[in-house]
Structure 1
């Protein structure tokens, strides 16, 4: 009986979304300080990677999706337009949204699969 694996602890999605918000804000602040204004796509790539890495750790698909959306809005509002105005300009913003969401959800799927096999 005592040799059974313990059941994995389920963390509440709401808590994971809150932590994801802070991760996205920290990634946005670090990106704004370290990556020059002219490298807009590199800035979005850093935000996408931050959302993906958090999604792997969180291993929750809802938290991954919400963190991806938060990362996109912060990147669009503060890294593309430095005045902090969220304005969607068209196709390029939609492509960036799908890229960040894809990275985030892929990281979440990997985290979920890794947790199930562990």
Structure 2
């Protein structure tokens, strides 16, 4: 698989994850109109959905960042030094991609209070 094809697949993965949230957004609207006697359950459900939406947003951002890096890698000559690759990674937006020590650990850390974008 060429690096350009990999970048396209990452962009498509990001697009598909963005499409997943349409139904979740509609569910949030329905949950916000529920009777007061179920308010605690609704709050918990809304919190879970918001957390899932935030996770999708991070996945989408990661895919776009990786696609950008792959496109830049594809332009490099085969003899390019590792420092050039490191510079490309260091210019990405998400810390978990940009900072090597954070790579792959986002799923294991507490995300705190959920906020809707």
Q: TM-score range by the shorter chain?
A: 0.3 to 0.5
Structure of higher CA gyration radius: 2
So what's the TM-score if we normalise by structure 1?
A: 0.34
So what's the TM-score if we normalise by structure 2?
A: 0.34
